[in-house]
């Protein structure tokens, strides 16, 4: 958990990931959506590329200079479950109401939620779950 928190553990990184999950890829669009200082956004995106969460790809519109778009790698997309769990936690403990986003099954349109399941696929209650250190 500590190592994961080192990679994901600051507010701006989580906000950039959120934007990427919304489909925002262009630097200027992220900056505008987030109201982020240029130096901070450049720094965080560089670190996210360095840690393998995102890739940086050049693009160029006619008559304009080369710019960069940032897209999630598989490692970055795998953070989705964590982001969804944070959303659920925030709805319950911070907002006290539904978040302004929905988590849905794109094939059925039905709402989804993050849940604990055992190795047989049966749902487990959080009160019955524990984080334990493995014996060596």
Per-residue tens of pLDDT for the chain, all 136 residues: 888 888 887 899 999 999 999 999 999 999 999 999 999 999 999 999 999 999 999 999 899 999 999 999 999 999 999 999 999 999 999 999 988 899 999 999 999 999 999 999 999 999 999 989 988 8
Query: 74, 23, 31, 79: which is closest to 52 by C-alpha?
Result: 74
Q: How many CA atoms lie within 13 A of 99 on its CB side?
A: 17
**CA angle at residue 51 from 47 to 52, to 5 degrees?**
115
Element at 72 (helix H, strand E)? strand 67-72
Residue 40 near residue 54 (C-beta atoms within 8 A):
no
Record: fold of 2-77: Arc Repressor Mutant, subunit A (1.10.10)
Q: Could you tell me where in the chain the CATH 1.10.10.10 domains are found? A: 2-77
Q: Is the pTM for the entire model greater than 0.85?
A: no
């Amino acid at each position: 958990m500590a190592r994961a928190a080192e990679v994901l553990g600051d507010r701006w990184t989580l906000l950039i990931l959120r934007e990427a999950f919304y489909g925002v890829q262009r630097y200027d669009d992220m900056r505008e959506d987030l109201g982020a200082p240029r130096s901070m956004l450049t720094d965080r995106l560089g670190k996210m590329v360095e840690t393998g969460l995102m890739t940086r790809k050049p693009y160029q519109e006619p008559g304009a200079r080369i710019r960069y778009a940032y897209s999630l790698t598989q490692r970055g997309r795998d953070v989705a479950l964590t982001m969804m769990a944070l959303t659920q936690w925030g709805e319950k403990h911070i907002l006290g109401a539904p978040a302004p986003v929905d988590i849905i099954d794109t094939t059925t349109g039905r709402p989804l939620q993050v849940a604990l399941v055992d190795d047989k696929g049966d749902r487990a209650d959080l009160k019955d779950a524990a984080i334990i250190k493995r014996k060596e």
